[in-house]
Every structure is written in C-alpha cells, then in structure tokens.
Structure 1
Amino acid sequence: MTVYDICSCPVTLSDRASVDDWNGVILGLLSHGTQTPVHLGRLMEAEPEFAMGHAARGLFCLMTGRAEVLPAAHEALAQARKCAAGQTITSRENGWVDALDLWLQGKPTAAIARVETVLRALPHDTLSAKLSHGIRFMIGDSAGMRRSVERVLNAHGPDHACRGYLLGCHAFTLEETGEYKAAEVVGLEGLQTVDDDAWGLHAVAHVYDMTARPGDGITLINDHRSAWQGSNNFRYHVWWHKALLHLDRGEMDVALGLYDAQIRADKTDDYRDISNATSLLIRLELEGMDVGNRWAELADLSENRVEDGCLVFADLHYLLALTGDDRPEARVAMADRFARDARREGEMPDRVEHPGLAALSGLNAFSEGRYDAAFKQLATARPAMPTIGGSHAQRDVFERITIDAGLRAGRYDETEIILKDRLNLRGGNYDRFATTRFDQLHRARRIPAQ
C-alpha cells in the first residue's frame, strides 16, 4: 500500500513500523547519523519488495567512492528493477531506481537530472534534495547545488519536519558560492531548528575558515556538540575543521593533537577519512612541522587503493599519503592507472584526463623537490580542480602546494596571481597562510612586507 513518510511523500510500504524505519533512514542520511544502515537493514528485512530501499542501498554504496562496492550496487539495482516490475510503485521510487542505473553507467550528471525530475513533482522531498546535493558535491557542481536547494526552499516551510537539514544544505551552497554572510545566518538558523545537523554545523565552520575567523569557528564546534557527537565518521571531518582553525592561529601542536585523538582515532580507509588525515599532515609539513611516522599507516591503506579509480579527489589524497611516506612503486602504479583511465570515455575519465593527470604529476614532482615542474603542472590543473569534487577548504591543500611550489621555484609573478585569487575567493580576508606567503613573496623580492 502507499503511505506517507516524514517528508510527506508517498512510499510503497505495508505498515507503520516499516514507515518508522524508513523515516529513520531519511533522518539518518540528513543528519549523518550512525543508525542509517540499521534502519535500512531492518526495513529491507521486513519489506524485501521495497524497490526504493534497494535503490537507496545501491546509491549509498556509490556515495562511499569505493570500487569494491560496485558489485553490491549492481546487485541492488537488479533487485530494485525486479521489485519495480512486480508491482505498481510511485514515480519518486522509480526515479531513485533510474538514478542508480544512470550513475552505475558512469553518468552522474544524468543521475542528478533524474533526481531533479522527482523534486519538480515533490519539492518537499528533502531526501531527494539531499541525494542531488550529495552527488553534485562529489562532481564539484557548487552552483548546481545552490540552484537545486533554492528551487525547493519554499516547499520547506516552518512546519516541515526536515526544514533545518535543508537550511544546512543551503548554508553550504551559499558558502561554496561565496555568500559568506548569508551562509552564516542560514546555517545558524538551521542549527536552531535541528540541533543534530552535522552538515549544517560544518557549513558554518567553512564560513569561519574562509573568512579567517578561527576563534569563532572553534567556539562554534565546541558549543554545538549535539551536531557532531552522534554522527558517523563525518564527526572526524568536523574535527578536521577544528584542527584547520587551530592551524590558522598557529597552534600546530593543538592541530596535531586533534589528529591523534580524534581525526585518526579510528584507522579507517574511508576516502573521506584519508583525505582529512593526509591534507592536515601536509598542511603541517608545509608550515615546517615534523609529523613523525604518521604517514606510514595512511600509505599502507592508500597502497591498497591505487587501482580504485572512483574519484580523482580520493585518488589525489591517496597519492599524498604515498608521497608522504615515499612509496615510489605505488606512485608509479597510480600514474600508470591514471594514464589508462584517461583514455577511457565518460564523465569520470574526463576528470582523470583533466585535471587529474596534471595534478598527479605536479604532486609527484613537488614530493621530489622538482618545484618548477610541480608548479607548471599544478598551475595547469588548477582551473579545473573544482570538478574533482570536495569543497574550497578541502581543495585548498592543492592550492597551498601550488603556491609553495611557485615560491620555491622563484616564479614570483605567477605565484602572486594565485595568492591574490585565493585571497579574493576568501572575500579579501587574510588567513595565516596568506599572510605568511605574501610575506615570503615580499622578502624574496626584497620588498618590505606591507
């Protein structure tokens, strides 16, 4: 039968207990909660013919960015198609099945478009809005994220049970498109509406990173424990943000302490956890800090991901670990795999070809002390780097490496342009990195620092 879920959307389930578990899936996904797979597992045990549940399982697999989950995602699609063929299901449910199919074909943009057709009919469907938001994030479509959320905002009034989570998504899109003041206001409103929105909290933390307000960011995270303490491994990303804020205050020891106590508390190989760890370690090294043997465990895990090839964003962070611990054979293997992938057709191979090849070459050159070659390659990759996914704050690690390569190579004019671009992106707000690198540039030119 057709009943309605917490988003007031029709769903083909048989009883109230199943709807409760489905609502648990929705709220878990929106809040990055730990119980999402528990609810989904229990739901599918009770409702094995629920096509959207199978599609959700497959889509959640793909969002992990791991090659070994592809068979499970294909199996989920087969089950979803079988279930859909044996009964009448809603257009929303069909949309999710189609989106999974398209993404598995290597067409994430088409998958997004299919989800958007669902949202046009059901603009109050926060779950589908979050799915569109998540896939767009993985392919670096910040403008599309903002358009998508703003199309459905009016359908999420004060009485909508999931309004706060959508405000968190809106805040993140505002921040990623440079509307920092609006992002802060919207994000804080969202946190007042739902206090367990880790994504919304992190959106405001991004604002404080981009506007060089580390004290405000640290206070925000300390004062909103409920937003992250019950979340899944996303809480490590929140702690990563806190470490960056301490780094911006020059508190390197505190940042490294957070790395040990929180960010790598669990030695997982989730690409998001690896990216948190590698990007923090190299930031610390760029500031002259010795991080000891911490690269080794990251490199051990990253060596196993050399042939993964799901996301350029993930691959480049695996490479940071392989350069950090100097694993030359694994680095060569990854370069060979990039070359093979770049010859294939499709959206993701296109990203491997550009900017992936140049970025990979530049990072390898930087690790070898070939700074001029590193700068040339990284500067070539730089305009297209948003297409690898992630946020401005996450990709800033590559910006920092590019700038330091330029300074070390003596390419002062070109490096100054990049420094000014980075400053403009941050609304003209000087963080510690900008201040120190402009100072280095002035001293290299023998001009008094301004």
Structure 2
Amino acid sequence: MAHPDARGNPCSSSSLPAREAAEQALWRLMSFYDTPLADLDAAMAADPAWALPHVMKAGFLLSLTEPTLAREADAHLSHARALARHATPRERAHLQAVQLVLEGRWHAACRVWDELLIEHPRDALALQWVQLWDFYRGDAHGLRARPARVLPAWDEADPLYAHVLALHAFGLEENNLYPQAEEAGRRALASNPRVPWAVHAVAHVMEMQGRFEEGSAWLRQHQAQWAEGNGFAGHLWWHKSLFRLEALDIKGVLRLVDAHLSGDALQITLQRVDAAALLWRLHLLGEDVSAHAAGVLADWALGEGCAGDYAFNDVHAVATMVAAGAHGQAEGWVARCAERALGAEDARRTNHLMAREVGLPLMRGLLAFSRGDADEAVDLIYPVRSGAQRFGGSHAQRDLIDQTLLAAAALGQRRALGRALVNERCMAKPVTPLTRHWLEKLALPEAAQA
C-alpha cells in the first residue's frame, strides 16, 4: 500500500517517523545545512523494510564524486534491491537511476529522473538529483528546462518551494538569461533567506556580468545564512575569492584561501576542486602558490583507481599538480586517465566520452603549459573550448580554460588569439582589472583605452 509523502508522492513506508526523517534528509540535500546521513539512518531505523532511505544515502554518497565512496554506495543499493519488492514504482525508478549513476551511466540516469518528473512534478528528490547530474554532465538545457517544467505544479507555501525556485534561477543563469535568473534568485530569498543555492545563482549572474564589487557585497549581505553550518560555504567562499580576483586584489584572495580554502576546510573533492581552480588562476597570474597547491594535494584521495573517474575533477587535479611543481605526478595522472578513457573497460561510462572529447586535451594542454610550450598548450586547448561544457561545471568554473589560453597567448606566439579572446570578454562585460591585466600582458593597443 502506498502512503503519500509531504507533497503527495507515493512512498511505501507506513511509518510516519521514517517519512519525516526522510523529508528532513531531503531538506538537507537541497539546503546543504549539514549532511542527510543521520536523518537517513533514523529513517532506516524507524522502518527497516523501506528501500528509499538506502537509495537516498547511496545517491548522496555518489553525488560527492568521491571514487572511494562507491563501495559504500553499492552496499546501500544492494540493500535497497533486497527491499524493492515492497517499493512503489516511483521508488524503484529512483533505485534504477542511482544504480545507473553508480555504473557511470549518467545520461541514462537523467533520463529516468526526467520521466519521473513528468509523472511526479513535485518529486523534489528527482529534481535535486537530475539538476546535480545535469550540472556534472554540462547539460545547460536540462538545468533550465526541468525546473521550469515542474514549477507551476508547486505551491509557494511548500517549505521546499524556494529551493526549487533557486534551482530554476541557476538554470536560467547557465543559459545566459541573467535578468530572469537574478529575479528568480532574489524572489527565492525573499520567500526564505536560508536558500544558499539562490545566493549562489545570483552570485553567478554578477560574476558573468563583471559586477565584482557588487558580488562581494552580495555575498557579505547573506553571509550569516551560509557561512556557518552549511556544506555549500566553501563554494561560496570560492565565489567571493573570484570577485576579489576580478579586482586583482591578490592579497585579499590569498587571505580567503588561507581562511576558507585550505587545510581542514577541505574535506571532500568538490572543495579541493574549488581550491585548485583558484590556485591555478593565481599561478597563471605569476603568483607562487606551490606550497598552497602541495597542501591541497596532500589530503586529496588520488590513489589507485581514482584517475579517470570524472574528467572535470581530473583536470583540476592536474592543474594542482602542475602548480605544486609535481610534474611527474601530473604526467602519470594524465596517462592513467587516458588508459581508462580509451580502453574497453566500462565503455558505457559517460565520463569516458567527456574525457576523450574535453578532459584529456585540456590536461595535455596543462602539461604543455607546464613545460613552457605555450603554443602547444593553445593548440591543444583552444579546439575544445567551444564544446567544453560537455565535461561539466558552470560558465564561471570553465573560465579556467580562457584564463589558461590568455596566459599561454601572452607567453607564446598566439597573440592574435589572445586579442580575439579579450575582445570577446570586453563585449560580454565591463573591462575589469583582471581583463585589463590580460590586455597589458598581450601588449594590445586597447589597453590604453580600457
């Protein structure tokens, strides 16, 4: 017999305490206030025959993009399969989707969640997870379209409504619909100030529009809501660092790195990727960040079997190795990524295509840059620039590619390409101190006019 959850979606547990604990876990997944693990354990204890909490736990573990957690996630999925005869079709669909994620078949998983949302538009779990893996896959259309399809079915009084609206805001931003994205993000926060994803969506708008001082003020305005007790804090500190970097406030960036993007603040790969991305940008500007980069690498799970799991993370790992001066380690990492992506094992993994099309050329370009061969770096990186969203991340994160191309153009013979990239940048947003830096490094006559 099916029992409705808080939004009327069918679930198989008759235990109210179990359903309430799962609902609390869902809120944590969407709000990032602490992890959902304790709540899911409580749901399992309240109803040991309910499969969904095991699926939710597996999905959360896999969402961290930590290869070392795959075995634990697999164990929970095995437990869920043993309980699946009691599950509703909706719950079995979630089980199928998370199993596909475990197998690396992210495109197929997102198709399952998409079908779930067509049937159950108020399934917040499906929406949260499909947007997350749309982001990991670089599916900008999905980021915009899926929240837009379901929002009309939501009641603004629902406690999760503001979180759904925030997902919509981010999807709009990643499709360059900046005024609409900012309006949706601000509306979400007016409904509920404890929605870090909405703060994040508006910060992305300001980043893309070159509003770096306003962006810093925006994050400071909402800092009390996101800086403590929230798993998203590290990423928002990264955004604040980007705003300071756009102002060429290098000392300010390094203060933020030391306080919020190093040492014990880095607990998972997603946080280390943020630190890596920032340190690489500083490296391109000529800052010696080798000690910082070595510190990031020291606790990064880069053991046997981790290379080639997710191309986006692999690129950032290689950038950190290069910035740390660990060139041999970087060469070995790229070789292992290539062996996995080009081999026959796990041929259906979404990541293998991502690595072949984008990740491996980028990593090889970083290696060329590290050897001082700036022109080869350009030759490797520029051809994949236009399709780089296929290896995941946001526009702001993938700006690492343009920053690397600008640095390589300034060091080598490809000044014409550097001019073209700066022209594109100047047409997209006001000339910032960071853009002016590249104008000067490229010795472009526009530098005097900017």
Same fold per TM (> 0.5)?
A: yes
- Matched residues in 1 for 2:303 and 2:374: separation? 26
Deviation at 1:62, TM superposition (A): 1.5
Partner of 1:398 in structure 2? 401
Secondary structure in 2 matching 1:124 = coil
- Deviation by residue 1:178-215 (Cα, 9 ceiling, x = unmatched): 01111111101111112211111111111111111112
- Matched residues in 1 for 2:122 and 2:411: separation? 52
Partner of 1:168 in structure 2? 166
Does the 8 A contact of 2:58 with 2:74 survive in 1? yes
Partner of 2:249 in structure 1? 251
Deviates more, 1:154-163 or 1:313-322: 154-163
Does the 8 A contact of 1:58 with 1:73 survive in 2? yes
TM-score scaled to structure 2, two decimals?
A: 0.93
Deviation at 1:404, TM superposition (A): 1.1
- Matched residues in 1 for 2:303 and 2:269: separation? 9
- Matched residues in 2 for 1:328 and 1:387: separation? 27
Partner of 1:238 in structure 2? 236
Does the 8 A contact of 2:207 with 2:243 survive in 1? yes
Partner of 2:383 in structure 1? 380
Report the residue type matching 1:60 in the other structure.
F
Runs of 4+ aligned structure 1 residues displaced above 6 Å come to none
- Matched residues in 1 for 2:241 and 2:189: separation? 21
- Matched residues in 2 for 1:268 and 1:113: separation? 33
Deviation at 1:281, TM superposition (A): 1.5
Partner of 2:326 in structure 1? 327
Deviation at 1:325, TM superposition (A): 1.3
1:351 aligns with 2:349: no
1:419 aligns with 2:417: no
- Deviation by residue 1:108-128 (Cα, 9 ceiling, x = unmatched): 111111111111111122221
* Among 280, 289, 306, the residue aligned to 1:291: 289
Partner of 1:183 in structure 2? 181
Change (3 A) 1:304 1:323: same
Secondary structure in 2 matching 1:43 = helix
- Matched residues in 2 for 1:44 and 1:397: separation? 42
Partner of 1:15 in structure 2? 15
Deviation at 1:59, TM superposition (A): 1.4
Secondary structure in 1 matching 2:11 = strand
Change (3 A) 1:58 1:35: closer
Change (3 A) 1:27 1:368: same
Deviation at 1:257, TM superposition (A): 0.6
Change (3 A) 1:6 1:447: closer
- Paired residues, number: 445
- Matched residues in 2 for 1:73 and 1:42: separation? 17
Secondary structure in 2 matching 1:293 = helix
1:433 aligns with 2:431: no
Report the residue type matching 1:355 in the other structure.
V
Deviation at 1:283, TM superposition (A): 1.7
- Matched residues in 2 for 1:173 and 1:423: separation? 24
Does the 8 A contact of 2:174 with 2:395 survive in 1? yes
For residues 32-43 of structure 1, the aligned pairs below 5 Å read 32-43=32-43
Does the 8 A contact of 1:7 with 1:161 survive in 2? no
Secondary structure in 1 matching 2:264 = coil
Report the residue type matching 1:321 in the other structure.
T
Partner of 1:100 in structure 2? 98
RMSD of equivalent CA atoms: 2.0
Deviates more, 1:306-315 or 1:391-400: 306-315
Deviation at 1:446, TM superposition (A): 9.3
Change (3 A) 1:306 1:199: farther
1:409 aligns with 2:412: yes
- Matched residues in 1 for 2:280 and 2:74: separation? 37
Q: Percent identity?
A: 27
For residues 351-370 of structure 1, the aligned pairs below 5 Å read 351-370=354-373
Change (3 A) 1:14 1:260: same
Report the residue type matching 1:66 in the other structure.
E
- Deviation by residue 1:360-410 (Cα, 9 ceiling, x = unmatched): 110011122111111111112322321111111111112201121012112
Change (3 A) 1:91 1:226: farther
Deviates more, 1:191-200 or 1:297-306: 297-306
Secondary structure in 2 matching 1:6 = coil
- Matched residues in 2 for 1:2 and 1:165: separation? 26
TM-score scaled to structure 1, two decimals?
A: 0.93
- Deviation by residue 1:201-241 (Cα, 9 ceiling, x = unmatched): 11111111111111221121111134313444320110111
Deviation at 1:445, TM superposition (A): 6.5
Report the residue type matching 1:81 in the other structure.
R
> Structure 2: where are the runs of 5+ without partners?
none
Deviation at 1:315, TM superposition (A): 0.7
Does the 8 A contact of 2:15 with 2:47 survive in 1? no
Partner of 1:145 in structure 2? 143
- Matched residues in 1 for 2:418 and 2:247: separation? 23
Partner of 1:317 in structure 2? 316
Does the 8 A contact of 1:32 with 1:234 survive in 2? yes
Change (3 A) 1:447 1:304: closer
Change (3 A) 1:444 1:197: same
- Matched residues in 2 for 1:350 and 1:393: separation? 22
Partner of 1:81 in structure 2? 81
> Structure 1: where are the runs of 5+ without partners?
none
Partner of 1:69 in structure 2? 69
Change (3 A) 1:244 1:151: same
Partner of 1:47 in structure 2? 47
- Matched residues in 2 for 1:378 and 1:136: separation? 23
Change (3 A) 1:286 1:39: same
For residues 262-281 of structure 1, the aligned pairs below 5 Å read 262-264=260-262, 266-268=264-266, 270-281=268-279
Does the 8 A contact of 1:306 with 1:334 survive in 2? no
Report the residue type matching 1:334 in the other structure.
W
- Matched residues in 1 for 2:278 and 2:438: separation? 18
Deviation at 1:265, TM superposition (A): 5.1
Partner of 2:25 in structure 1? 25
Deviation at 1:289, TM superposition (A): 3.1
Deviation at 1:334, TM superposition (A): 0.8
Does the 8 A contact of 2:51 with 2:81 survive in 1? yes
Does the 8 A contact of 1:139 with 1:387 survive in 2? yes
